[in-house]
Amino acid sequence: MAVNLFGVINGLNTFIPVIRSQDKPSAIVITGSKQGITNPPGNPAYNASKSAVKTLAEHLSYDMRGTNTSVHLLVPGWTFTGLSGGHPGSSKEKPAGAWAPSQVAEYLYKKMEEGKFYVMCPDNDVTEEKDKKRMLWSVGDIVNERLPLSRWREEYKEEAERWMEQRDVSKF
């Protein structure tokens, strides 16, 4: 929480007054995580912090409406960065499933030009369609009164797979 959430809060508290004092068009991009949306088991503190970042970004977008500042939630897919060994001089090669940071930036700029708040980046392993299905299934735990984190529970595995195969999210 100290880094993933309060780092964002402290950054916003530092820069928002400066941004608001300008008349120039500007943008705030906050980096979230798919784990803050789909909430997979295994790292609850990280998931909770990124879920809080998503909520904070949504409220900031609402609060900044009517100003010259756009707000965007960047949710990258698997990205090969310096944190994962993708830095100059490294002998580690980018995994086939990962995107390079430049691909994420290009995708972000495109979505910003389209006026999108949610920038859900795919990667070479997970498509936009699959991300949407995973998100819909997750919120369905609440709406359909399933046990939480049902997609990872053995008793829901076949139902979840069948649901994902049958779902058409092209209209979303």
Using CA atoms, how far apart are residues 164 and 32, in angstroms rounded to an integer? 24
Residues 121 and 135 in one domain: no
Where is the domain boundary, 93, 110, 126? 126
Is 1 a domain residue? no
- In the chain the beta strands, taken as DSSP E runs, fall at 26-31, 69-75, 118-120
Could you read off the pLDDT of 14-69 as tens digits, one per residue? 999 999 999 899 999 999 999 999 999 999 999 999 999 999 999 999 999 999 99
pLDDT of 167 above 70: yes
Q: How many separate domains does the chain show? A: 2
In this structure, are 69 and 147 located in the same domain? no
The predicted pLDDT at position 92 comes to 82
| pLDDT over 90 at 85, yes or no | no
Mark whether 109 and 159 lie in a shared domain: no
Does the pTM surpass 0.85? The reply is yes
Same domain, 122 and 132: no
Query: Rounded to whole angstroms, how far apart are CA atoms 58 and 70?
Result: 11
Residue pLDDT, tens place only, 101-140: 999 999 999 999 999 999 999 999 999 999 999 999 999 9
* Residue pair 26/69 in contact by the 8 Å Cβ criterion: yes
Do 115 and 131 lie in a common domain? no
| DSSP string for residues in 121-156 | ---SSS-HHHHHHHHHHHHHHHHTTPPTTGGGSGGG
Helices 128-143 and 157-166, axial angle in degrees (round to 10): 130
Instruction: State the pLDDT at residue 87.
Output: 66
Q: Which residue has the tokens 């970004």?
A: 57
Do 120 and 169 share a structural domain? no
Residues 137 and 172 in one domain: yes
pLDDT at 90 over 80: no
Q: What is the percent of the chain with per-residue pLDDT over 90, rounded to a whole number? A: 90
Q: Is residue 114 part of a domain?
A: yes
Q: Taking residues 86-93, report their average pLDDT.
A: 72
Reading the block at residue 75, the tokens are: 């949710």
Question: What is the distance, to the nearest Å, from the Cα of residue 90 to the centroid of all Cα atoms in its chain?
Answer: 27
**What gap in Å lies between CA 131 and CA 78, rounded to an integer?**
12
The answer on 114 and 152 residing in a single domain is no
pLDDT surpassing 90 at residue 166: yes
CA nearest 55: which of 123, 8, 105, 17? 8
What the block records as the tokens of 153 is 């529970």
Same domain, 102 and 17: yes
Residues 44 and 101 in one domain: yes
Q: Are residues 56 and 141 in the same domain?
A: no
User: Does the structure show a pLDDT above 90 at 86?
Assistant: no
- In this prediction, residue 164 has a pLDDT band, given cuts at 50, 70 and 90, of very high
Residue span of the structural domain in which 56 resides? 6-126
